[in-house]
Amino acid sequence: MSALPALVLGGGIGGLAAALALARQGCRVRLYEQGSELKEIGAGIQLGPNVYRMFELLGLTAAIERWSAHPQNLVMMDALTGEEVTRLPVGSEAFRKRFRGYPYGVIHRGDLYQVLLEACRAEPGIELNEKRKGLDFEDRGERVVLKMEGGEAIEGACLIGADGLWSKVRARLLGDGKPRVSGHIAYRAVLQRAEVPDDLWQNNVVLWAGPKTHLVHYPLRRGELYNLVAVFHSDKYEEGWDVYGDTGELNRKFEHERPEVKRLLEKIDVWKMWVLCDREPARHWSRGRVTLLGDAAHPTLQYLAQGANMAIEDAAVLAACARISGFDWERAFRDYEDARYKRTARVQIMSRYYGDAYHAAGVVRELRNDILGGAPDFEAMAWLYDGIALPQSKT
Ligand SMILES: Cc1cc2nc3c(=O)[nH]c(=O)nc-3n(C[C@H](O)[C@H](O)[C@H](O)COP(=O)(O)OP(=O)(O)OC[C@H]3O[C@@H](n4cnc5c(N)ncnc54)[C@H](O)[C@@H]3O)c2cc1C
């Protein structure tokens, strides 16, 4: 193994998971995060059985279980009529049994982040650096040089761009322009348990599907908090991240929907707004000793609730490929990309389809309700929730 550390740019969920997975394989890692503190903003994250498998591999199951909660069902409601469209009993024994004992969970982003951060801090091979912004890199064949704001140049054995949707590493590596603005806007908020009317509180992930809108809610932190995500179509916004939203516009978008939906929306005074973006799937996102991971590699709309799940799967696969290649980074990154591109592309594409189904209007809405209205089908989600097998050494 090279005497130089692996460099990770970006300390989000993907960057921390990558640092941890590599360190668990005996690799030294230096991570650089531009933020002033290593922390995660936002609200809830849903965790599929596929990512619980990764937590097990990373030795994080007990820590995650301290913070995550397990909803009983994923429920889709028609936001115009109040009829239940479908219900997947993800809290049932049958679900766990089908997915090899792994559950479905929800967790506060901050809690997931803290679990990863503490695990990284406990690894002597990981150096975490805050308030450090990467601007560019150079691949010199036998090493990479990461160029930081302020002029510093940091040498590493390789570079993993885990720098999110607006990745600078991707811009330099692939040069494929800005992400695609979907025209969908998400507002997110968290309520305290006491603020939620009793008749609207339930231990389910509930999605109210309306024409060009949807609202998702579920309890977090074992029922202390209630997570809300409201999405609507609007072409008013170009791009942006984590800005305060206009509740007037939000309420107008949902004005023809069920009272349950409007009563929850009224509870919120401070919403933050996200302009949702994705990209067309890419076949390649590595070159030489540089690769991408998480949203930098395959940004997706959140309609399958899998972006962070995919970033964590990426991390585990990348670390396995590094070990198998004997830390020959060029080979490891090719193998990693080969192992990941189809699965992550499927998530990107299927997320768009799910978004269309949630936001259907007119006859399409009626058809959606008919098609989804049958008995719950775990097999429909098996391609995703069955998860992945890690690459194995061929010798
Ligand atoms: C409304 C919504 C709901 C979602 N719900 C779910 C869900 O339920 N389940 C799920 O799995 N996913 C969900 N996601 C997706 C998930 O949030 C993302 O896919 C995931 O956070 C991506 O992690 P990442 O580490 O790749 O990128 P990011 O979280 O974007 O992290 C990138 C990090 O890199 C840093 N950075 C950027 N540029 C630089 C630079 N030049 N130098 C240094 N540092 C830099 C940033 O500050 C940031 O900390 C949701 C997303 C949205 C918008």
Query: For the chain, what percent of residues have pLDDT higher than 70?
Result: 95
Q: What is the pLDDT of residue 272?
A: 77
Alpha carbon of 303 to ligand 1 centroid (Å): 15
pLDDT in tens, 306-321: 999 999 999 999 999 9
Give the mean pLDDT of 44-66: 97
State how far the Cα of 280 lies from the Cα of 170, in Å rounded to an integer. 14
Pocket test for ligand 1, best of 166, 295, 300 (most atoms within 8 A of CB): 295
Check whether 244 has a pLDDT greater than 70: no
Q: What is the pLDDT of residue 248?
A: 83
**H or E element, residue 340:** helix 329-358
Q: Are 225 and 236 in contact (CB under 8 A)?
A: no
Matching residue, tokens 């009224």: 266
Q: Are 191 and 267 in contact (CB under 8 A)?
A: yes
Give the mean pLDDT of 376-381: 90
Residue closest by Cα to atom 3 of ligand 1: 302
Check whether 242 has a pLDDT greater than 80: no
* DSSP H stretches of helix in 213-272: 247-253, 259-266
Residue closest by Cα to atom 27 of ligand 1: 164
Q: What is the pLDDT of residue 250?
A: 86
The closest of 285, 274, 277 to 179, measured between CA atoms, is 277
Q: What is the pLDDT of residue 189?
A: 86
Annotated catalytic, 218? yes
Length of the chain: 395
The closest of 130, 156, 153, 139 to 28, measured between CA atoms, is 156
Check whether 155 has a pLDDT greater than 60: yes
Give the mean pLDDT of 179-191: 90
CB of 18 within 6 A of ligand 1: the answer is no
pLDDT in tens, 274-295: 889 999 999 999 999 999 999 9
Q: What is the pLDDT of residue 74?
A: 97
Question: What secondary structure does DSSP assign to 271-302, as a single string?
Answer: -EEEEEEE----S--EETTEEE-GGGTS---G
Check whether 219 has a pLDDT greater than 90: yes
Give the mean pLDDT of 34-53: 87
State how far the Cα of 167 lies from the Cα of 177, in Å rounded to an integer. 10
Alpha carbon of 49 to ligand 1 centroid (Å): 20
Check whether 76 has a pLDDT greater than 60: yes
State how far the Cα of 248 lies from the Cα of 250, in Å rounded to an integer. 5
* Among 112-126, 184-198, 232-246, the least confident range: 232-246
User: Do the bridges between strand 272-278 and strand 286-287 make them parallel or antiparallel, or are there none, so unpaired?
Assistant: unpaired
How far is it between the farthest Cα atoms of the chain? 63
353: Cβ contacts below 8 Å, ≥ 6 apart = none
State how far the Cα of 26 lies from the Cα of 343, in Å rounded to an integer. 27
Amino acid identity at 164: G
* Among 86-95, 238-247, 335-344, the least confident range: 238-247
User: Do the bridges between strand 180-192 and strand 272-278 make them parallel or antiparallel, or are there none, so unpaired?
Assistant: antiparallel
The closest of 21, 44, 53, 13 to 384, measured between CA atoms, is 53
**H or E element, residue 120:** helix 109-121
Q: Are 186 and 276 in contact (CB under 8 A)?
A: yes
State how far the Cα of 106 lies from the Cα of 43, in Å rounded to an integer. 10
CB of 314 within 6 A of ligand 1: the answer is no
**H or E element, residue 87:** strand 84-88
CA 322 centroid distance within chain: 23
CB of 27 within 6 A of ligand 1: the answer is no
CB of 317 within 6 A of ligand 1: the answer is no
Check whether 234 has a pLDDT greater than 90: no
Q: How many CB atoms lie within 10 A of CB 61?
A: 16
Alpha carbon of 295 to ligand 1 centroid (Å): 6
Pocket test for ligand 1, best of 8, 16, 33, 188 (most atoms within 8 A of CB): 33
- Give the mean pLDDT of the chain: 93
pLDDT in tens, 18-33: 999 999 999 999 999 9
Q: Which of 102, 104, 187, 218 is catalytic?
A: 218
pLDDT bracket for residue 270 (50, 70, 90): low
Give the mean pLDDT of 100-119: 96
Give the mean pLDDT of 334-357: 97
User: Do the bridges between strand 6-9 and strand 158-161 make them parallel or antiparallel, or are there none, so unpaired?
Assistant: parallel
pLDDT bracket for residue 1 (50, 70, 90): low
